[in-house]
Every structure is written in C-alpha cells, then in structure tokens.
Structure 1
Amino acid sequence: MTKKELLEAMAKAAGITQADADAALGALIESISGAVASGNRVAIPGLGTFEKRERAARTGRNPQTGAEIQIAATSVPGFKPAAQFKAAVAGEK
C-alpha cells in the first residue's frame, strides 16, 4: 500500500477529505517520532509499541576488503506488535 492509497483509505473510513487525512497522518508520524526520539514509549492498543533501543558498539567487517571495522554504538527505533495485530496478519482473526 502506498501513502496515497493509505490516505484514500483513511479519508473514506473517517469520512474526511484526503487533505485532512494527510494532515492527520503527518501529525501522527511527527508525534510518534518526537516521543520516541525523546526516549518515551508510544503504545497504540491493537497496533503495538514504538520505543527507542540502544545498539552497543561492535566489531564488523568491510564486505569488500574483509578488514575489521569498529561500528559505533547508536540508538535505533524499535517496534513490538500487539497480539491483535499479529493475529490479524496471521489470519487468525
């Protein structure tokens, strides 16, 4: 599903214009991104939980030369799906 298709589905389901759906989707993404970047968890019942995860520094390999390289520690976004979402994807609904 593309963003355009998602906006069309949102607009139809909510009975709003596509412009309003685009604004709502943009606000949702911005709100989740900002909260997770600040270290907060965002739980959406029926969908899942977004959170910030720490990835430790480690040694890796350059695939072209085989030389060892140091990969710095970093923060990455994480998502844990809710049981309802897992069941829907698995067709167990």
Structure 2
Amino acid sequence: MAKKATGSSASAILTLRHIAEQLSEAHELPKWQANEMLTQVVEMIAKSLKKGDKIRLSGLGILQVRKRAARTGRNPQTGEPIKIKASKKIAFRPAKELKEAV
C-alpha cells in the first residue's frame, strides 16, 4: 500500500521499471524481457532524436529537436550582459487526445 504525503501535493512517479512490470503482467512476459524491450525503445528514440528526426507517438504527442539561436542574456546578480551560445533542445508537443484527457 502506497503512503500519501500529508499536506503536500506529491504525485506518483511512473518509471520505466513500473511500465515494464505492467507490460509483463498484461502480456504474460518475463519482467526482464519487458524491461529489455522498453530499454530498446528508449534507445531507438534517443538515436532518432540525435539524427534530428521527429518522433510521433499516436495518442501521446511529438518529440523533436529544436534549435535555439545565440542570444544575449543578463547575469541576474550584476545585470552584466552575457552571450549565450546557440543550442539544441528537445521539445514535446502533446497530442490533442492527451490534452483533452488531462
């Protein structure tokens, strides 16, 4: 039985291990096999993102790499302008079904 934190808004965290356990029960697979499959899926997604591919997961959303341009920022302590290098970030855009469900 899970403990609930009193007075805080702590929510449950679903990990890959939990997902693998649920998959193994639902499909009557050994836990190690479900875990291995999930690990491979995550590796495939990471490789695709490194190549710059867009990943569309039906019902969940789209993962893609976006480029951020170089810009000027400010040091919050001194107010001194600093240069921030161009970078890449991973962006997630939820699917319409997910937005409506949440």
Structure 1 unaligned segments of length 5 or more: list them: none
Pick which of 78-87 and 26-35 moved more: 78-87
Question: Which consecutive segments of 4 or more residues in structure 1 shift more than 4 A?
Answer: none
**TM-score, structure 1 normalization:** 0.82
Question: For the Cα contact (< 8 Å) 2:65–2:91, is it kept in 1?
Answer: yes
**TM-score, structure 2 normalization:** 0.75
> Larger % of helix: which?
1
Matched, 1:15 2:28: yes
Distance 1:23 1:59, change over 3 A: same
Q: For residue 53 of structure 1, what is the amino acid of its counterpart?
A: R
Identity of aligned residues (%): 37
Mapped to 1, the partners of 2:16 and 2:95 lie a distance apart of 22
Which is higher, the Rg of structure 1 or of structure 2?
Answer: 2
Mapped to 2, the partners of 1:63 and 1:15 lie a distance apart of 55
Shift of 1:21: 1.7
Distance 1:71 1:23, change over 3 A: same
Q: 1:2 aligns with which of 15, 18, 22?
A: 15
